[in-house]
Structure 1
Amino acid sequence: MQYSEYLIQKAQPILKEILDHPFVEGIKNGQLPQNAVTFYVQQDYQYLDEFVRIYGHAIACSQERKFAQFFNEQISFLMDQESKAHQILCQAAQLNYAELKNAIPSPKAYLYQSHMLRAGQTGSLLNILAALQPCPWTYLEIGQHLTVTSTSDNPYQEWINFYADSSTTTETIFQFIDQLANKATADELKTATQYFLKSCELEWQFWQQAYYQEDWRFKQVLSAAEKEPFSW
């Protein structure tokens, strides 16, 4: 068994909950509360900024040119193409995408970003890839899962197709993970496994927070302190 297969096997209980989540069900049925879409796009826009940074950590830790080249291509994709998925959601929910880009990261998004940053700070490319892979992997699984059940008149069909066709990225990262795992110790693999599974959990948490708008309890306090001129 390859290490990537081991990770996928361990994550199956989490993946099942993601595929069964009411937000994902709403995409499948073409019916989502507008406030859930708003919260999701706001937070995912902030999260993708951190995703770009974690790819930067990956480039810095790469000892092979093929790794660095791939990660650089992914940064370009995130900067230029990933917003299309947001725009599809916003169009279906009749939202103005430009107005959703300046949110404060929610508690769960903040935790996820911090988790990714921690992986980057380890200086281990295996940890970095293990931490970032659940995002493209679970979205691929969601896209392929929904392709089977969705209908052509679904307003989110373009979103489904976008992620259902993203297998190349996921497969490449898993190949890199396996290559690195073949040279890793048992303790290093245990650590990487925790990064992978925690990121899977945080992917579920991301859908959860969006659907139920789980935000900071004292968000007004945070927002006011951020916007007002600083004075001691």
Structure 2
Amino acid sequence: MALTDELWSAIEPVYDEILAHPFLAGLTDGTLPRQAFRHFVVQDSHYLRDYARALAVCAARAPHEADVRAFADDAVGALAAEQEMHGEFLTAFGESAEQAAAEPVLPTTLAYTSYLLATVHGGSFAEAVAAVLPCYWIYARVGEELLAKSSPDPLYAKWIATYGDEAFQSVVRRVLDLTDRLGEEISPAERRRAVRHFSTTSRYEWMFWDAAWRGETWPV
């Protein structure tokens, strides 16, 4: 079995729960409270800064030059998304990126990024790729799913279009091809660890949307 097939099979129930989440339903029908979307944007700005660091570690550990360049480009792209797209959303809320950056990193964001960074530094290259993969792949699948529906809210429609866009989809296909190449080279034990990391960070993706929906804060 191709590694990507095994990975997706492991998280199909998680993905079904993601698609069913009221945050995504509210994006497409336009009923998502703006405060929930703002929560998501602010925490995603924090997340993407550390995700870029995780991708940079993947670049440093990649054995082939093409993969070094690709992950380095993706790290730069993650920061560009944080600065550009999130900046536009924050402007719509009458706020600045500086104001958002001053807000605290909340529990789910911190847990997710801490797990990512620990895995990319402490695991193998294949494990690192598996850990960062859900942020590529799940967003691509969600983007495809939501693009057909879009949203009556222009702000939400813009977010949906970003991840349904063919340019983003092609980047994801490149990472999936790499994942399958790695799957042919790694040991059964390393493969099991890769599946475990992929499953964990996929669950964090659901938790990230859920945290925004709930308006998560630090309890004390």
Q: Same fold (TM over 0.5)?
A: yes
Alpha-carbon contact 1:4-1:174 (below 8 Å) kept: yes
Alpha-carbon contact 2:45-2:82 (below 8 Å) kept: no
Aligned ranges 1:138-177 → 2 under 5 Å = 138-151=138-151, 154-165=154-165, 166-177=168-179
Aligned ranges 1:45-194 → 2 under 5 Å = 45-87=45-87, 89-90=89-90, 94-98=93-97, 99-151=99-151, 154-165=154-165, 166-194=168-196
Q: Which one has the largest radius of gyration?
A: 1
Deviation at 1:201, TM superposition (A): 0.1
Deviation at 1:155, TM superposition (A): 3.6
User: What code does the residue aligned with 1:5 have?
Assistant: D
Contiguous gaps of at least 5 residues in structure 1 = 219-232
State, as a whole percentage, how many aligned pairs show the same letter: 27
Q: TM-score, normalised by structure 2?
A: 0.91
Structure 1 runs of 4+ aligned residues shifted over 6 Å read none
User: What code does the residue aligned with 1:77 have?
Assistant: G
Question: Is the alpha carbon distance of 1:44 and 1:151 closer, same or farther for their aligned partners in structure 2, counting shifts above 3 Å?
Answer: closer
Matched, 1:38 2:38: yes
Alpha-carbon contact 1:89-1:156 (below 8 Å) kept: no
Residues matched between the structures, number: 217
Distance in structure 2 (CA, Å) of the matches to 1:214 and 1:152: 26
Aligned ranges 1:185-224 → 2 under 5 Å = 185-218=187-220
Per-residue deviation, residues 168-194 of structure 1 (Å, max 9, x unmatched): 121111111111111111110000101
Distance in structure 2 (CA, Å) of the matches to 1:77 and 1:189: 28
Contiguous gaps of at least 5 residues in structure 2 = none
Q: Report the structure, 1 or 2, having the larger helix content.
A: 2
Distance in structure 2 (CA, Å) of the matches to 1:118 and 1:50: 11
Question: Is the alpha carbon distance of 1:95 and 1:206 closer, same or farther for their aligned partners in structure 2, counting shifts above 3 Å?
Answer: farther
